[in-house]
Each structure stands twice: as structure tokens, then as C-alpha cells.
Amino acid sequence: MIIVLSKNITDEQKQRLIHRIEKLGLTPHISEGVERTIIGVVGDERILQGKPIDGMPGIEKIINVLKPYKLVSREFKNENTVVKIGNKAIGDGDFSIIAGPCSIESHEQMLSTANFLKENKISFLRGGAFKPRTSPYSFQGLGKEGLEYIKDAGRKNDLAVITEVVDARDIELSYEYVDVFQVGARNMANFSLLTELGKQDKPVLLKRGMSSTIIEWIMAAEYIMLKGNSNIILCERGIRTFEDYTRNTLDLSAVVAAKNLSHLPVLVDPSHGTGRKEMILPMCLAAKVIGADGVMVEVHPEPDKALSDSKQSLNFEEAKKIFNKIRKLKWED
């Protein structure tokens, strides 16, 4: 940690600050510059987190040198984490495809989707039973009934099931139905939810918040891992910017960053990331070549009857073509 002192700090303020640092077991190194004095704090600066240093008078700014996360970092664990889900895995070197509708709408819808996925050798079925919607007048999901449909469809087709939990109370209710708990973008900073998921023995797919920095996203994973659950899959799904041609701005650099900074697998969701059907294939191909561990795409038997996200959902024919093109993309490194 580096502390830049104000030009007009008093001697007494400086002494109080040095004293406080030393009391915390750290060593201050003072460099007196021509215009500013800086203090380099030597020792494990993480012990300063949550400690009231930055409000002390006479400080211009504080710069953290160390990364604020530990367990999820590449420095802590160098080899890639492989998340095992029954007889399947994400992060094992294969490029995974997760597919399914935004909302679970009926038993038939889930069965036909699951069947389609199985035929196309896809291993992961997604679908939401609890839908966070901007409007209280929009379809809010089928709840427990939906969970039954997706579980049954998954079981009958040997697919691992991924579904979103929007509230810590949903975890218990959902537990027996799902293979992977999804945390949506709106809940990335719902620390109660993250903490509860950290206590579960099933993997968590953690979407990046729509206005979260890469570091905040990784910190959210640290919340989960700190509680004991290290089976975390990160998922980039676009950030909110001024651009309105796309629904969000898909930030593929964040995938490269997350792969470098952490040992966790990282997926890309081009359906929410762009909100446009015609961009799904190119963004899936891009995800593959930049080193993502897979993609999550919205597929619906009849997109024009979907109760949510119908504009960005693929029908079976479109999805099949895209799956094939993703698989054909192979190159020597």
C-alpha cells in the first residue's frame, strides 16, 4: 500500500498516521519528494482492509498494490479449475455449450428443447424458473413448477441442469432440482446470496454484473470461495454503456482478463451480451478463439412465442447451424 500525503499535512498528522501503521504491525517507508511525501507500507496490506486509514487527515490518496482477492487468483492456484458436474465438466479444455430458453414456460417446451440438445450432443440445459424482470407486469417465471419441468427434461436426456436463483431462500427450494446454481447479473453484488451459495456443494455459475468492473466480478467469486465452495464458473454477459444498438456491450477483453487473473473457467453469454440474433454466431466463435471455456446461448422451440427475450432466442434450426460452426472452428496454436 502506498499513501500519498497532502502538501499541507501537519507534522502531528504525519506522526499519528505513522503510529497507526506501526500499531497494525506494518512498516512505513517514507520518501520525501520535492512536492509530495509518500509512505510505502510494507507487510501484508490486506490486514488494512476495513481499517479506517483513508479518512485520516493529511492523506491525499491511498493506492493498493496487492490484489484484493486471494483464493480465486492465479497466484494462489496456478492450474485451471475444472468444475465437475456429474459425469460432465466445464473448464477441462473442451469448449462447453449451455443452451435452453430464457424462461421455463411449459413441460413440453423443456422436453422438446432437451431432446433437441441431446440430439446435438449438448450436455447442459439452462432455463429460468424465477425471472428477474424490470416490470412487475411482465412474466415472472413458473417457480417450483418450472423447476420440476427442467429437472425432468434434463434427467430424461442426460443433461446437467442450470437455473438461476434470485434470493437466498430459493437455494433450499431449488437444491434438489438443479446441478448448477446461476447467479444473474442483477445479483452479482447480492452478497447474502453469494455467501449462501458458498456453503453449497453444487457449482455456481456467476454472471458479471452489468456495471461491475472485472475486479468486482472476481471479488464476488472470492465471496463464494471464502465460504468453502470452489466450484465457480464465471460468465461474461455484457456491460451497460452508452451504446444502444446492442442490448449490452459484450466485453470480450474481460474474458481474457478473468482467465489471466483467476484459475476459474470463464464462459460467454452472447445472447444477453448483444441482444441480437445475428451476433450470436460471431461472438461464439470469438469466445472460442480467445480462450473462453464455453458459451451459454438462448434456444427456444418457438422464439416468436417466447415469454421473454424472444428477440435474441435461436430456434432449433438456427441453433443447430451455430453449434456445428462452433465445433468446426479448430486451429493449431
Residues 63 to 92 in contact with a second copy, rule: CB under 8 A: 63, 65-66, 68-69, 75
Closer CB to a second copy, residue 159 or residue 166?
166
Query: Do 300 and 314 contact (CB within 8 A), yes or no?
Result: yes
Q: How far is CA 148 from the centre of its chain?
A: 25
Q: Nearest approach, Cβ of 285 to a second copy (angstroms)?
A: 4
Instruction: Give the binding range for a second copy (CB under 8 A) out of 48-56, 91-99, 108-116, 229-237.
Output: 48-56
Number of chain positions touching a second copy (CB under 8 A): 111
Distance (Å, rounded) from C-alpha 96 to C-alpha 27? 48
Shorter beta-carbon distance to a second copy: residue 67 or 118: 67
Residue whose grid cell is 425471472: 131
Near a second copy by CB under 8 A: residue from 12, 76, 84, 241: 241
User: What sign does the dihedral 103-104-105-110 (CA atoms) show?
Assistant: positive
Segment interacting with a second copy, rule: CB under 8 A, options 30-38, 93-101, 149-157, 174-182: 30-38
Q: How far is the CB of 161 from a second copy (least distance, A)?
A: 21
Kind plus residue range of the DSSP H or E element containing 112: helix 107-119
The letter for the amino acid at 294 is G
Q: Quick one: which of 23, 25, 34, 317 contacts a second copy (CB under 8 A)?
A: 34
When binding is defined by CB under 8 A, the residue of 92, 158, 249, 318 that contacts a second copy is: 249
> Closest separation between CB of residue 87 and a second copy, Å?
29
**By CB under 8 A, what part of segment 254-313 binds a second copy?**
254, 256-257, 260, 273-274, 276, 278-279, 282-283, 285-286, 288-291, 303-311, 313
- Closer to a second copy by Cβ: residue 85 or 280: 280
Shortest distance, CB of residue 186 to a second copy, whole angstroms? 4
Tell me which residue of 57, 58, 44, 35 sits closest to 1, measured CA to CA. 44
Rounded Cα–Cα distance for residues 279 and 297 (Å): 11
Strands 37-42 and 27-32 turn out to be antiparallel
- Nearer CB in complex with a second copy: 29/156: 29
CA distance 160 to 152: 11
From residue 272, give the alpha-carbon distance in Å to each of 150, 151, 189, 296, 305: 21, 24, 18, 9, 18
The DSSP-derived string for 52-108 is TTTTSTTEEEEE--S-S--TTBTTT--SPP-EEETTEEESSSS-EEEEE-SB---HH
State which of positions 87-126 bind a second copy (CB under 8 A): none
Pick between residue 152 and residue 249 the one whose CB is nearest to a second copy. Answer: 249
- Contact residue for a second copy among 12, 22, 44, 145 (CB under 8 A): 44
Residues 149-208 that bind a second copy (CB under 8 A): 166-170, 186-187, 189-193
d(CA 217, CA 257): 11
Residue identified by cell 447442459 is 124
The yes or no reply on residue 137 touching a second copy (CB under 8 A) is yes
Cβ of residue 100: shortest distance to a second copy, in angstroms? Answer: 16
